[in-house]
């Protein structure tokens, strides 16, 4: 259950969703930006003192997306989705490496068995790792094609009893229209699931979103480039957009 005291973290256990896009550096063309990994390591290190348990779900869109592959070069959708899921493994290992180098205890759990590389996802083992203070990185999405890593984040968050999903993106929250195209776009600080749905704000894909709504799991959308944002969100400060 979320804590209530002002000096206590609002959330005891969270799933942090990082899209593959957030890992890419568009300027340098780096697929996995070293600076982003460093920043993530700093953010996660800063959580040690407050004790919030963190499981990270990484996307793979910086490397491959099944749907895009099917459209652009006719890759079979299931094959493409498998390639997409493997992309998340690459990202997850890069993140694991960086977090370990900064002194954090990390475990990678995969939805597709690959014994030599990562542990299989087992719910009770996952919660045990979190209780031991280890950061978890969930890779390979749900293990099923025709899904997204947003869905994996919603699924895992429910499975491990997380209090919230923190969705780190390139934009600092949810706007009523595209802030890159409209100067008068307004950012929501708080929005209900229902309003987000009816206004088609595209917080997550519909399946992931309804899994959160059905289980009353709040989603906080914020910018990856906002330093200290992860800790602020966890402490209950008004950062980004709260969906719930
Ligand atoms: N994917 C999948 N099943 C899953 C999760 C992901 O098939 O459970 C595939 C899908 O092709 C997706 C790709 O992996 O496009 C990368 O994931 P996603 O697009 O969610 O990454 P992000 O947008 O977060 O970078």
Burial of 132 (0-12, 13-18, 19+ CB in 10 A): exposed
- Of 142, 219, 167, 151, which is closest to residue 19 (Cα–Cα)? 167
Helix (H) or strand (E) holding 162: none
Q: Is the CB of 148 under 6 A from ligand 1?
A: yes
Distances (CA, A) of 134 to 117, 156, 161: 17, 16, 16
Nearest ligand 1 atom to the CA of 152 is 8
Distances (CA, A) of 192 to 66, 93, 150, 242: 31, 35, 18, 8
Pairing of strands 219-223, 190-191: unpaired
Q: Is the CB of 90 under 6 A from ligand 1?
A: no
- CATH-assigned architecture of domain 13-243: 3-Layer(aba) Sandwich (3.40)
Mutation test residue for ligand 1: of 26, 62, 85, 206, the one with most atoms within 8 Å of CB: 85
From first to last of its 244 residues, the chain has per-residue pLDDT tens of 555 556 799 999 999 999 999 999 989 999 999 999 999 999 999 998 899 999 999 999 999 999 998 889 999 999 999 999 999 999 999 999 999 999 999 999 999 999 999 999 999 999 999 999 999 999 999 999 999 999 999 999 999 999 999 999 888 999 999 888 999 999 999 999 999 988 888 889 889 999 999 999 999 999 988 899 999 999 999 999 999 9
Domain ranges of the chain: 13-243
């Amino acid at each position: 259950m979320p804590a209530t005291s002002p000096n206590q973290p609002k959330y005891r256990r969270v799933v942090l969703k990082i899209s593959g896009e957030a890992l890419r550096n568009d300027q340098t063309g780096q697929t996995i930006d070293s600076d982003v990994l460093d920043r993530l390591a700093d953010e996660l290190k800063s959580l040690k003192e407050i004790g919030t348990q963190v499981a990270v779900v990484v996307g793979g869109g910086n490397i491959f997306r099944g749907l895009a592959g099917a459209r652009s070069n006719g890759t079979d959708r299931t094959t493409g989705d498998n390639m997409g899921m493997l992309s998340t493994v690459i990202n997850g290992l890069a993140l694991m490496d960086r977090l370990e180098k900064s002194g954090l205890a990390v475990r990678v759990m995969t939805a597709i068995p690959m014994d030599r590389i990562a542990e299989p996802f087992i719910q009770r083992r996952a919660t045990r790792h979190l209780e031991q203070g280890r950061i978890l990185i969930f890779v390979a999405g749900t293990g099923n094609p025709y899904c997204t890593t947003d869905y994996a984040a919603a699924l895992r968050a429910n499975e491990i009893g997380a209090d919230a999903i923190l969705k780190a993106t390139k934009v600092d929250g949810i706007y009523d229209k595209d802030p890159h195209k409209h100067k008068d776009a307004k950012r929501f600080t708080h929005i209900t699931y229902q309003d987000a749905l009816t206004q088609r704000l595209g917080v997550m894909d519909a399946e992931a979103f309804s899994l959160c709504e059905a289980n009353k799991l709040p989603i906080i959308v914020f910018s990856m480039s906002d330093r200290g944002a992860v800790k602020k969100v966890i402490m209950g400060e008004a950062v980004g957009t709260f969906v719930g």
